[in-house]
Amino acid sequence: MAATPTPSPASASAFWADADRHLVRYGGGFTREIIERAAGSFVYTADGRRILDFTSGQMSAILGHSHPAIVETVRRQVATLDHLYSGMISRPVVDLARRLAATLPAPLEKALLLTTGAESNEAAIRMAKLVTGKHEIVSFARSWHGMTQAAASATYSAGRKGYGPSAPGNFAIPVPNAYRPDFTTPEGELDWRRQLDFAFGMIDAQSTGSLAACLVEPILSSGGIIEPPPGYFAALRDKCRERGMLLILDEAQTGLCRTGTWYAFERDGVVPDILTLSKTLGAGLPLAAVLTSTEIEQEAYERGFLFFTTHVSDPLVAAVGNTVLDVLAEERLDERALELGAFLRKGLDELAVRHEVVGDIRGRGLLAGLELVADRTTKESSDELGARVTRRCLELGLHMNIVQLPGMGGVFRIAPPLTATEEELALGLSILDTALGEAAGAV
């Protein structure tokens, strides 16, 4: 049967009737707003409402929506060279690989350009297994690395139940959460060294002697904006070296200036064996990358590394990636993320003074987390509180994303575009202030 022609815009009731009838739900319910367009830090609904986007779309649109430079690049490139046979390469692809390497420390100089974070993590895991000749993967217990098989098997924050066995040899280690420490010093602070020693003692007890890699985020995002303390990643790297494992860092949400440096791992002075980028690299378009050393790439190649996908090395999104690097450098958005991050943090700290339900504020640059609790002393969580604040923010014109995991309060992931203004951040803080006050009084 032939497809029906695209009709003129339907009424809101007809739109939602079609959506409810024909769309597969893939992660809870849909936000009940019809989004017509987006520009800068805002999305606009069919009924004329303007909503401030405090998540940069899916934590991706670091240059805001419809950035003029991105729009122009897409128009030009799609009319010139959009897609190729996967064995062919083009100038935008080689240019982006070279330029990414120039932003990174040695020996990261080889790039594989893909589409999504899951795909880049899948390729990184596949490469690590092939190069090491081993198959076991270690990740954080609140990790999120994607929805494809190997990436999903290394994801522990959600989505593990009901799908049958995950890939064999996947292990979780505890997250070093300073706000909710499981190993403590005599002073009651997180004892992350003892925690890490315990974790790898458990890994060694379970391993069959086939530890290939450790895949982690420098700042866990879906895990509740948790940043391991200084020194942690150097110690983790040493644990990997002792066992012949590769260290893979997933900078899907932290890479490319969001935290105030080009890459979050720069704080620790630890260079991964493999780095994965996605989300921010395409500034909202589907572009991802795997970066590694010449030595690892050569070993993978000699062993027959295969990751021949439909959209590997596509020129259209590679051209967008080059434009993203242009804008980041020309507008010094790493410095801007630091400045705006300080402004945002000050505003969040002021909210914590006014609202007892704010338990903790954490993060770096323009990736901030605000954890809600029903009681500051016990750190008791409240799903109802988080849901009320989220709902009220949207009603007032602010889109927020909340992470609600067992044993944690609701954690707002705040990640506005790097191009946002102080006035826009102040607007978001004002709306959040009102929502917190109203929701706390109602719970």
Whether residue 44 contacts residue 35, with contact meaning beta carbons closer than 8 Å, is answered with yes
Look at the block and give the residue holding tokens 């440096």.
Answer: 261
Nearest one of 110, 102, 84, 111 to 316, comparing CA atoms = 84
Q: In what order do the strands lie in the sheet with 401-403?
A: 358-364, 367-372, 411-414, 401-403
In Å, how far are 4, 12, 353 from 22, measured between CA atoms? 14, 15, 46
Q: Is 314 a catalytic residue?
A: no
Name the active-site residue from 53, 119, 142, 144: 144
**Could you give the CA distance from residue 374 to residue 106 in angstroms, rounded to a whole number?**
47
Q: From CA 150, how far away is CA 137, in angstroms rounded?
A: 9
Q: Which of 119, 360, 413, 424 is catalytic?
A: 413
Structure tokens at 333: 């958005």
CA gap 333, 286 in Å, rounded:
21
**Annotated catalytic residue 253:** yes
Asked whether the beta carbons of 343 and 353 are under 8 A apart, the reply is no
Tally the residues of the chain: 443
- The burial class, CB within 10 Å (0-12 / 13-18 / 19+), for 117 is buried
Q: Which tokens sit at 415?
A: 């990640």
**The one catalytic residue among 53, 191, 250, 334:** 250
Among 152, 198, 150, residue whose Cα is nearest residue 176: 198
Known catalytic membership, residue 16? no
Catalytic option among 134, 253, 268, 362: 253
Is residue 362 part of the annotated active site? The answer reads no
Annotated catalytic residue within 110, 279, 362, 392: 279
Annotation says 331 is catalytic: no
Buried b (16+ CB within 10 A) or exposed e, 194-221: ebbeebbeebeeebeeebbbbbbbbbbb
CA distance linking residue 315 with residue 327, whole number of Å: 19
Alpha helices in 247-378 (DSSP H): 294-302, 315-330, 333-354
Of the candidates 257, 272, 295, the residue with the CA atom closest to the CA atom of residue 216: 272
- The residue to which tokens 């990636």 are assigned: 321
CA distance 272 to 289: 14
110 catalytically annotated: no
**Which one of 53, 119, 136, 217 is the catalytic residue?**
217
Q: Looking at this protein, which amino acid is placed at residue 385?
A: L
Q: What values do phi and psi take at 359, rounded to 5? A: -90, -40
Backbone phi, psi, residue 184, to 5°: -125, 155
Buried (b) or exposed (e) across 387-417, using 16+ Cβ within 10 A?
A: ebbbebbbebebbbbbbbbeebbbbbbbbbb
Residue type, 417: P
- The residues annotated with a catalytic role in the active site are 144, 217, 250, 253, 279, 413
